[in-house]
Structure 1
Amino acid sequence: MAKNSSLASVQHKSVQHKQSFRLDKESIRAAAKEVDDGAVTDGYRGNRQEVLAMLNDALATELLCVLRYKRHYYTAKGMENESVKAEFLQHAQQEQEHADKIAERIVQLNGEPDFNPATLSRRSHAEYDESHGIKEMIRANLVEERVAIEAYRQMIERIGDGDPTTRHMLVQIMAQEEEHADDMADLLNL
């Protein structure tokens, strides 16, 4: 009998909690009419300048990764490496998608994506690679994927709950970078 009484009490509290929450629609609508900040509302709790700086560095990283994978795709030699080349090309395309998402988010936060090629390498977490052997290319890509994973992990941790949209995007990108690292590790072990 005590269990049923406890369960009913918990259910009642849960219903009470759900019923007691009310959105302040008028305040939300009034704040939403301040359109100068685009998608950024008064409830945004992130440090926008810091987030924009992190995102521009991540953008540089993704762009450099596109270039590295493209170079490896075009310079890898041998019919036996066609499947590896296809993997490089697929990763280059996915890294470009990451760059596009990041640039879009920068604009949503009222920033400007930095595509300046003169500063790309300096701002990137990853490094460019000019290896010639297929194993060296794979190893270089694995190392740089691991660098990207750790950089994203640290950014996600730093952002915390202050910017859930950016955090969610970075978690998705990091998950794909982990898949890339797995792919490169598998190729390295062939």
Structure 2
Amino acid sequence: MNVPAQKLPSTQGAEASENEFKLDLERIRARAREHMEEGAVTQSYSANRDVVIKLLNESLATEIVCTLRYKRHYFMAKGIHAEPVAAEFLEHAGEEQAHADLLAERIVQLGGEPNFSPEGMLTRSHSQYVEGKSLNDMIKENLVAERIAIDSYREIIHYLKDKDPTTRRIFEEILAQEEEHADDMADMLEHDDREAH
């Protein structure tokens, strides 16, 4: 079935050619049949796929390390104020795991292989795995890790710009949740400091 070309409404003072949008469906259909083995990656993909897959795998390692750290902190949280903090750690661990799954799925869509190997996980990860001795230490280490993820993901988003909007949106979605996590940890730290005085 042929779909008629769509025209966008014109705006004042602009050239007519800037206001028209016409799909070259014949060209798109022909290109879709070329290199079908590349799946979702078409000729219009303009990012360096190897670099993007590397960034995704580093971020996957980051999310796995964060999941493991939050899980440890959940189980090791002790003290009079530990119960709500531990519950927050557990919630964050689940969200970090969901981030890892999103990243792994995108790696596969781009024709790569997600690197789940424990060997080298810490060197691939942006954040560190610091156990922390006290509840306060655990909160601080999680806050530091979230701040590292926030800055590294912002840089990745800036690098991707319009070259890979799908991957950029995944990182934007993850970034928003990492900012919430950092805010949660900062609130807990502030509350813990008030309790200490």
| Structure 2 alignment gaps of length 5 or more | 1-9, 192-197
Give 1:16 deviation, angstroms.
Answer: 6.7
Q: Does 1:22 align with 2:22?
A: yes
Please identify which structure carries the higher helix content.
1
Aligned equivalent of 1:60: 61
Aligned equivalent of 1:187: 188
Distance 1:52 1:60 in 2: 12
| Structure 1 alignment gaps of length 5 or more | 1-8
Aligned equivalent of 2:153: 152
Matches of residues 1-190 of structure 1 in structure 2 within 5 Å? 10-11=11-12, 13=14, 17-18=18-19, 20-34=20-34, 35-190=36-191
Q: What amino acid is aligned across from residue 118 of structure 1 in structure 2?
A: E
Give 1:11 deviation, angstroms.
Answer: 3.9
Give 1:79 deviation, angstroms.
Answer: 4.6
- RMSD after superposition: 1.6
Distance 2:17 2:116 in 1: 52
Give 1:159 deviation, angstroms.
Answer: 1.4
Q: What amino acid is aligned across from residue 28 of structure 1 in structure 2?
A: I
SS across alignment from 2:81: helix
Q: What amino acid is aligned across from residue 28 of structure 2 in structure 1?
A: I
Give 1:27 deviation, angstroms.
Answer: 0.9
Give the TM-score of the pair, scaled to structure 2: 0.87
Aligned equivalent of 2:4: none
Aligned equivalent of 2:3: none
SS across alignment from 1:189: helix
Aligned equivalent of 1:4: none
Stretches of 4+ moved more than 3 A in 1?
A: 9-18
Aligned equivalent of 1:6: none
- Does the CA-based 8 Å contact 1:76-1:132 persist in structure 2? no
Distance 2:70 2:16 in 1: 54
Distance 2:15 2:106 in 1: 36
Aligned equivalent of 2:7: none
Give 1:129 deviation, angstroms.
Answer: 1.3
Give 1:97 deviation, angstroms.
Answer: 0.5
Give 1:31 deviation, angstroms.
Answer: 1.2
Larger relative contact order (CA 8 Å, sep ≥ 6) = 1
Give 1:145 deviation, angstroms.
Answer: 0.3
Query: 1:44-90: per-residue Cα shift (whole Å, max 9, x none)?
Result: 00000000001100000000000000000001113521100000000
- Does the CA-based 8 Å contact 1:46-1:159 persist in structure 2? yes
Distance 2:51 2:175 in 1: 19
Q: What amino acid is aligned across from residue 76 of structure 1 in structure 2?
A: A
Percent of aligned pairs with the same residue? Answer: 54
- Does the CA-based 8 Å contact 1:40-1:109 persist in structure 2? yes
Give the TM-score of the pair, scaled to structure 1: 0.90
